[in-house]
Amino acid sequence: IGLSRGRGISLIHDIGQASYAVPIVIQQYITNPLLIDGYKFDLRIFVLVLSFNPLEAFIYREGFARFGSQKYSSCVKDISDERIHLTNSSIQSNYMN
């Protein structure tokens, strides 16, 4: 927990595969994610919140998108393929030529 750059992320098909030896976060996978041209993506948008009551926030004009490097597949045999399911830049850079 508290790692960055995709370290410590695991994709599993069966909850019984989870290791409970250390504290973990478990999330249910979105089975029908929004795709761009068949690829998973996420958007990184920066927001500065100055006040919550009343709410005062500023959205930075620039952000960026991150993409998987392989087209999305919902096949169980592909669940361990990080290139499909994880959009983290550090993980994707492991597969660049």
Upper half-sphere CA count for residue 52 (Cβ side, 13 Å) = 0
pTM over 0.85: no
Q: Are 70 and 91 in contact (CB under 8 A)?
A: no
> Which of 2-6, 83-87, 92-96 is predicted least confidently?
2-6
Nearest to 87 by CA among 31, 54, 43: 43
Q: What is the pLDDT of residues 6-40, one digit of tens each?
A: 666 777 778 888 878 878 788 887 878 999 999 99
18-34 in b/e burial notation, b at 16+ Cβ within 10 A? eeeeeeeeeeeeeeeee
**Helix, strand, coil abundance in the chain, percent, nearest 5:** 15, 25, 60
